[in-house]
Structure 1
Amino acid sequence: MFPNAATEVRKVDPDYVQEQHQTFFSDGYPFLLVSQESLDALNKLLEEPIPMNRFRPNILVEGCEPYSEDLWRDIK
């Protein structure tokens, strides 16, 4: 098994897979939505900024508060 596997395992959304499935190092969801503001906030904390493509988002949004997308339930 992998080192620290217990902390690196994530449950996946039951809407997309069968119960009790897990994934390593990735999300079990059909998309990744990230805001430019969240990346900007993260980069302020780092010595060297990282580019957005490092996260490989499917959807990139702008014009919101940093990390607010973590709380969104719907997208219109």
Structure 2
Amino acid sequence: MKKGAWAERAVPGAVFALHVTPRARRNQLSEGEVLKAEVTAPPEDGKANAAVAELLAHALGVAKSRLTLIKGATSRDKVFRLD
């Protein structure tokens, strides 16, 4: 995905609910009924969470530090907030 492809969604305070698939073949975001994130990182020691944050930040065109995981640290369903 091109950097900043979802830049129009990068509004401070925006909330992003994603369904995550760890250990996927490649890193990608897709839209449908829900946002889906596939990451190659394993779900160990927060590696998948960090990979999802990096992928989402890249798509939004913002720094990874602006995203906060507010729900779902150990779940496949996660909610991030853009600060």
TM-score, length basis structure 1: 0.25
Which structure has the higher relative contact order (CA within 8 Å, separation 6+)?
2
For normalisation by structure 2, the TM-score amounts to 0.23
> Looking at CA atoms only, which structure, 1 or 2, has the larger radius of gyration?
1
